[in-house]
Every structure is written in structure tokens, then in C-alpha cells.
Amino acid sequence: MTTRTEELPYFEDSAALFLPWAERSGSVFLDSGYPHCRQGRYDILAAEPVTTLVTRGGLTEIREQGRTTLSPDDPFTLLKRHLGTPQTGHPDLPFCGGAIGYFGYDLARRLEKLPEIAADLENIPDMVVGIHDWAVVVDHQARRSWLVGRGDSPALAARWPHLVQGFSQIQTIGWQQTGFSVRGEVQSNLSRADYGQAFRRIQHYIREGDCYQVNLTQRFSARCVGNPWAAYQWLRVYNPAPFSAFLHYPEVQVLSSSPERFLKVRGGSVETKPIKGTRPRFANPARDRAEAEALRLSSKDRAENLMIVDLLRNDLGKNCRPGSVHVPELFAVESYATVHHLVSTVRGQLAGEHSALDLLRGCFPGGSITGAPKLRAMQIIEELEPHRRGLYCGSIGYIGFNGGMDCNIAIRTLMHSDQCIRFWAGGGIVADSDEEQEYQECHHKAAALLNLLEQFRMRKRVGAVGR
């Protein structure tokens, strides 16, 4: 496969490039949060997938050239088959076409034997991934943009001049004027008493030796009306994050402001950056610095973080060269709009016979949002959380024709479908966790999205929300 590239005008805010496509089914925007978040570098946007894979339970729909077929095969295997043998891409760009989409947490049911206790209120696919033969890649560090695509596609060759012209004529961001509003109060699926009961049950399992850590979460939901793209434009300003995304599918629209990288593969090098440990931000600079320092020095948060680092080292080891997995950084503090996080970095080198999709399958779902050991933690989650997680704690990202991959952990992520918007927040429970502190940490993590939804509830039009 040859790669076709053409440089485009650079926009500091890539939402300007995505705006004409935002309401089209199959459009995707992997958003570094720039310029509101300076930690990101690349934005990737695409539309018009040539193939779409949609997994529900034991079957995957393959939508291609106006036809739909069904397959019972493993979704990761199917996706690998459609991507084909990895090809050389552009040396300076992470993505030159390939797969973009989401892998829901409940896709894990294809990988592990889990009980079926929690109710499924989501009614969305376990996986939706499009194969894109063109994309726009924006490098904010180099301040350059490219249209990239498959050079061996006659259909794309015919479309290419139109795409170049369209992306070259964009002038302004043109904020979405169609409103978005929330109707009624945001509701949690766990009362304070229910949370306490689940917390104590996890503590019992830890004392009995079933597990070391379990990630306990609650679901927040509200009725809504309006355009989810309008809501996302405000989310990316209100809570900017380096692994954000907006995905528009017929079944669901996804608005993610995730701060957490799950897996990155480039040139065979592998990286994961688990988050464990959270403190709230404060307007007072001295108090804010003190809170960050308290997080950095917290023996409990360090121990919790280290448990997940060890889990991920083992997960990476399934598909990395023996001896290549290492931990270059432990317990770094990263600060976001409403919270400080404790973040570690684990790296390795992909073994020659394994692919990025093998790595994703072997690590899925991410250990930072399950607990340890992973399978037992997931069984306990299914027992204690009232509703299935759907996409939450799954992953959003790309796997390129060139074999590269970058995907997030789908936290701080809103799902919109059937005039309902919802998200989850939670935290890891360990032996010395304090119930009230853990409950408050959950709400610290939820604060940005709760505040934003409250703004949408109080005002009838998104345009009335102050920056």
C-alpha cells in the first residue's frame, strides 16, 4: 500500500476542520484538546468510512459498500483481517488511514467468562470501528496539517481534489448554533447508602483474599435535547484533556475528555500511562500546590498506583519482547482542569510476531479501571454496580494501516443516545481505603461533567454557557 499526503492550511483549533463533518454519521475526531490543553500534539479527524464493524454480543455486523454481513468471529480478529498486513506510512505522521472507533468495556465478555447480573441500560454496540481510507492529521507542535490517504484506492483518487479544496477553504470555526440542553436533574444510580454497602462488600472481598483492588463506579444520567456536537464544543473548552474524542454514529454519539492514555504503539515501541490517585484542584495557588504535593507523597495512592503498574507490566508482557517491559517513570503528578492525577509510565517493545491489535486484546480492558487481579475484580464489579458500563472504561482511538496505535481509557466520557446523556465516575478501593474519602474522590472526578451538565440544565441554549 502506498500513502498519499498533501499539506493543508494549519488551524490552531482543529474543530474548525471537523465542523463540516460533525453531524455526519461515521465522522470521528480524535482531539488532543489543543489549544485549551497544551499537553496534546496530534489531532486526527476522518469521515466516510469504507467499512464499519459493529459488534453486539456474539455477532459483528460488517457494513461495506451498501451491504451488511454478520460474523461470529472474534472482533479483534475481524478488525485485524480488514486492516490487512501493516504497511509503511509517512515517517513523520502517526496515522495515514486505518481504523478509528471505540471498544466498549463490555467487549470483555468476548474475552472472559463474566456473570450477567448488572442491567444493560445502554443499548449501544460493544464495539464500533470504521476503516477510513483518508484522514486529516494536525501536528500542533510543528503547526502543520496534512490530508493523508491510501494511494492504491481509485475511489479516493477521484475524491482527493474535492477533499483538498474543502479543507483548504475553511476560514473560521463557526461555532454550532443549534442548542443543547439538559431536562431535569442529573441522577446517580448509587445513593450514598448504596455506595457504602458496595464499598464494604469490596472490603470484605479484599480481607478474604479475593482481590487487592476493585474500581467502583457510579453512573450519572439525565434527559436532554439538542445537538451533541454543540455540547462537545463546550466540553473541550470546559474540561480540556489530551485524549479527547467526538464520535458520531447512528447508535450513539460519544463526547470524551479523557486524560488517560491506554496504549500507544509506534515503530514497535509500546507505552501505557495508568492513572491511579486523584486530588481536587483549588483556585488558591498555595492550596492547589499543597494538594498536588500531598498526592505525590501519599503512600496509599502510590501503593494503589503500583498495583496497577504491576498488572500492566504483566499484560504488556503477553505481546512484548521478553525483558523489554520497564517502568521509566513512577508517580508523576499531572494537573487538569478540576483534578490532579498520579500517573506512571510503562514501556516495552512489541514482539515481532505480534501486532498492535494483539496487544490491545491482551490488555483489554485497562487494569487501571478494573482492579487486581483483573478477572476477579471484573466479576465483583458486575455483582456490585447496578448497570453495565457500556463504553465507559473501554477505549477510544486508532489502529493505522501502518501498524501504529494510540487509544485512551474512556473515562470523563459522555454517551448520548435516545435523548439521554450519561457518564460514570469512580475510583479504586484498596484495603486501607476510607469510605467517605473514596465517595468524595468519585465526585471530584465527576465535578467537571456534573458542572457542565448543570450549565446545560440552567440555560436553554448552549450559546448562553459562559466560557
Percent of the chain with pLDDT over 90: 85
DSSP character string of 320-341:
BPTT--EEEEEEEEEE-SSEEE
What's the gap between Cα 419 and its chain centre?
22
Q: What is the arithmetic mean of pLDDT over 248-261?
A: 96
Residue 365 contacts by C-beta under 8 Å, 6 or more apart in sequence? 105, 107, 108, 378, 393, 394, 395
Is the overall model pTM greater than 0.85, yes or no? yes
Specify the higher pLDDT residue, 172 or 66. 66
Q: Which domains does the chain have, with CATH numbers?
A: 3-171+183-464 (3.60.120.10)
pLDDT at 175: 57
pLDDT at 176: 55
Whether the predicted pLDDT of 461 surpasses 70: no
Q: Say what the alpha-carbon torsion angle 322, 324, 327, 328 is, to the nearest 10 degrees.
A: 170
Whether the predicted pLDDT of 459 surpasses 90: no
pLDDT in tens, 301-318: 999 999 999 999 999 999
Give the pLDDT band (50/70/90) at residue 174.
low
| Residues with catalytic roles | 260, 276
Whether the predicted pLDDT of 45 surpasses 60: yes
Whether the predicted pLDDT of 465 surpasses 50: no
Asked if residues 224 and 183 have their Cβ atoms less than 8 Å apart, the reply is: yes
pLDDT at 379: 98
Whether the predicted pLDDT of 83 surpasses 70: yes
Whether the predicted pLDDT of 286 surpasses 80: yes
pLDDT at 177: 52
Instruction: Copy the grid coordinates of residue 310.
Output: 504491576
pLDDT at 68: 96
End-to-end CA distance of the chain: 45
Instruction: Copy the grid coordinates of residue 3.
Output: 500513502
**Beta bridge partners of residue 56, listed in sequence order:** 59
Give the pLDDT band (50/70/90) at residue 170.
confident
pLDDT at 364: 97
pLDDT at 460: 52
pLDDT at 463: 45
pLDDT at 29: 98
pLDDT in tens, 195-254: 999 999 999 999 999 999 999 999 999 999 999 999 999 999 999 999 999 999 999 999
pLDDT in tens, 385-422: 999 999 999 999 999 999 999 999 999 999 999 999 99
CA distances (Å), origin 38, targets 9, 70, 200, 209, 334: 20, 43, 40, 43, 12
Residue 142 contacts by C-beta under 8 Å, 6 or more apart in sequence? none
Whether the predicted pLDDT of 90 surpasses 60: yes
Alpha-carbon span 372 to 380, nearest angstrom: 11
Whether the predicted pLDDT of 333 surpasses 60: yes
